[in-house]
């Protein structure tokens, strides 16, 4: 492990677990609290854009404190340029939604929690702009955590950071306005479209637009309507299909106005309520479930086995996740609400 550990006196590095273009990720012990963490160290040769993304992430996570957004412990941008965060045993959402082991309902419940976390982030003024299964971790106990706010846009202060006509994000999950580079139109509904794309994957077993080239993907997102999920999978509940297609509306006027309204309809379906406002059918049979796993309870129908701890796995799992922590010497947080950044 080629790392000069002198700039990190509070950490005992155990092993390298991931590599990226901008830096390396290490499994480590945070010595003051004897806590297992993941430490991302920015490459000393990182580009100006990579450093800018780091700072954008710090500013975002400093204000985002939610049980389904990955918890950040400490950041240093003055010397070694690193951050530490939760070390998660699990995987990204991608293999979970592709696995036949889990029911549609179990997968929808995971997405519901992510949507609530995203609605919270929107309320704090941040647009994620890169929602995709690879940026959602699922812990071994089945708890989803939203990560990677490196492309996040601050609606209040992020003026002209991204030029009009420039596309930012992952093409397969971009909303039409995002694919066209219409930066002035990006908002919470842009992230809602990406949530709808993930829901489509859950229901249909594929992405809405199966295209090979970037140009074909963007053209399809902007101009083509994907086949309804029930055309690909007749077992898809009609109400869920309606939720999905509303999230994938190309027009901002007809798409869900917020991640919260999208989450509300998912929650209604999970609880067994009828979604007459979407389907116009009061006779749709929906699953009857209990209220045992409310938001305050981390129980889940998805239990992810611990994956092999090797570079290949963690390279896929961990993305750029940056954050903030109170000054050194402060008590360790027991929950996100106690990890508020020091102001001033």
Question: Hunting for tokens 């309520």 — which residue is that?
Answer: 273
Residues in the chain: 344
CA–CA dist 58, 145 (Å, integer): 17
CA–CA dist 200, 30 (Å, integer): 40
CA–CA dist 267, 197 (Å, integer): 18
Q: Which of 4, 10, 130, 158 is catalytic?
A: 130
Residue 343 makes CB contacts below 8 A (sequence gap 6+) with: none
Residue 311 makes CB contacts below 8 A (sequence gap 6+) with: 16, 17, 18, 19
Q: What is the DSSP string of 41-93?
A: EE-TT--HHHHHHHHHHHHHHTT---TTB--EEEEE-SSS-EEEEE---EEEH
Quick one: which of 277, 278, 290, 334 has its CA closest to 73? 334
Active site residue 295: no
Quick one: which of 300, 266, 280 has its CA closest to 138? 300
Backbone angles phi, psi at 321, to 5 degrees: -125, 120
Question: Hunting for tokens 């299909």 — which residue is that?
Answer: 241
- Tokens of residue 4, six digits: 């000069």
**Residues annotated as part of the active site:** 130
């Amino acid at each position: 492990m080629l790392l000069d550990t002198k700039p990190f006196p509070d950490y005992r590095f155990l092993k390298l677990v991931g590599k990226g273009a901008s830096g390396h990720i290490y499994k480590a012990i945070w010595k003051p609290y004897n806590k297992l963490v993941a430490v991302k160290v920015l490459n000393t040769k990182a580009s100006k854009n990579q450093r800018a993304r780091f700072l954008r992430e710090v500013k975002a996570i400093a204000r985002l404190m939610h049980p389904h957004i990955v918890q950040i412990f400490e950041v240093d941008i003055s010397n070694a340029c690193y951050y530490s965060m939760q070390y998660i045993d699990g995987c990204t959402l991608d293999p979970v939604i592709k696995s036949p082991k889990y029911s549609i309902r179990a997968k929808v419940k995971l997405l519901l929690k992510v949507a609530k976390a995203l609605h919270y982030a929107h309320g704090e003024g941040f647009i994620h702009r890169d929602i995709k299964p690879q940026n959602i971790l699922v812990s071994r106990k089945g708890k989803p955590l939203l990560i990677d706010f490196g492309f996040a846009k601050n609606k209040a202060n992020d003026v002209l950071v991204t030029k009009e006509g420039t596309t930012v994000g992952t093409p397969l999950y971009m909303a039409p306005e995002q694919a066209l580079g219409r930066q002035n139109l990006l908002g919470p509904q842009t992230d809602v479209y990406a949530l709808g794309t993930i829901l489509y994957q859950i229901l249909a077993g594929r992405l809405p637009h199966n295209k090979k080239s970037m140009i074909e993907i963007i053209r399809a997102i902007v101009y083509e309507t994907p086949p309804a999920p029930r055309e690909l999978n007749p077992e898809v509940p009609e109400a869920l299909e309606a939720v999905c297609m509303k999230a994938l509306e190309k027009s901002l006027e007809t798409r869900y106005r917020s991640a919260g309204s999208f989450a509300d309809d998912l929650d209604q379906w999970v609880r067994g309520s009828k979604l007459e406002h979407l389907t116009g059918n009061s006779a749709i049979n929906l699953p009857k479930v209990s209220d045992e796993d409310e938001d305050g309870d981390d129980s889940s129908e998805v239990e992810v086995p611990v994956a092999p701890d090797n570079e290949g796995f963690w390279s896929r799992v961990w993305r750029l996740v940056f954050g903030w922590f109170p000054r050194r010497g402060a008590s360790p947080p027991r929950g996100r609400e106690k990890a508020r950044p020091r102001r001033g």
